Chain A
Amino acid sequence: DIQMTQSPSTLSASIGDRVTITCRASQSISNWLAWYQQKPGRAPRLLIYKASTLERGVPSRFRGSGSGTEFTLTITSLQPDDFATYYCQQYDFYGTFGQGTKVDI
């Protein structure tokens, strides 16, 4: 199994902040990595795939980077709608999620 480790587990930030979440894979997954946003009571929403490709309709303040085993999700200027939990997922071999990062005030 490929394990995914996300950090931090919780992140406190303010409107306008630049926020960075890290995801590490236990082995190389090339760029087969996705990021999701989940709000309470809602299904996850795909934000980024292939490590850095923005899903249609997702604001450009969301940016993904990385390859191999180290990946990053950056929100360049945090907006009120961005307070949520974020998950990475590898899909190089089946699918494994990271533990999640809750972004709150």
Chain B
Amino acid sequence: EERLVQSGPELKKPGESLRISCRVSGYSFTTYWIAWVRQVPGKGLEWMGIFYPGDSEARYSPSFRGQVTLSADKSLNTAYLQWSSVEASDTALYYCARPLSEAGRLDLWGQGTMVTVS
């Protein structure tokens, strides 16, 4: 079964660093991009960026470029979203998802990771 399993909820203080993860199972990790989507509580979905584990290429939405870093560990079939210094405005639910191409529909989603900065 194809699955994306995300890491658990995080509670951080402003200024702390953070890395959340998305583990892939059931399909070839290096063959598909991984997308990250933010959802502020009570608000809509925001496309943050995509990462291709095959060659470590990352592309960011202008709104998130320079604010976060996408990466992956191929040996662990795991993608990461990280912050060097979180802010209260980063409080949100973060989803990883699989686009079927570089610019593609998101057909498989993780369960989401809630990040609270307070």
A and B from one assembly?
A: yes
Of chain B, the residue at the smallest CB distance from A91 is B103
Determine whether the beta carbon of A92 is less than 8 Å from that of B111: no
A49 to B104, CA, bound (A): 9
Query: Could you name 20 residue pairs across A and B whose Cβ atoms are closer than 8 Å?
Result: A1-B61, A1-B62, A34-B105, A38-B45, A44-B37, A44-B106, A46-B106, A49-B105, A89-B47, A89-B105, A91-B99, A94-B59, A95-B47, A95-B106, A96-B47, A97-B37, A97-B44, A97-B47, A99-B44, A100-B44
SS class, residues of chain A in contact with chain B: loop
Q: Decide: A44 and B104 in contact? CB cutoff 8 A.
A: no
CB <8 Å contact, B47 and A98: no
* B92 in the interface (beta carbon within 8 A): no
Dominant SS at the B interface? strand
Within 8 A of B (CB), among A77-98: 87, 89, 91-98
Q: Which residue of A lies closest to B59 (CB)?
A: A94
Q: Give the size range of A's interface with the partner.
A: 20 to 34
User: What chain B residues lie within 8 Å of A105 (beta carbons)?
Assistant: none
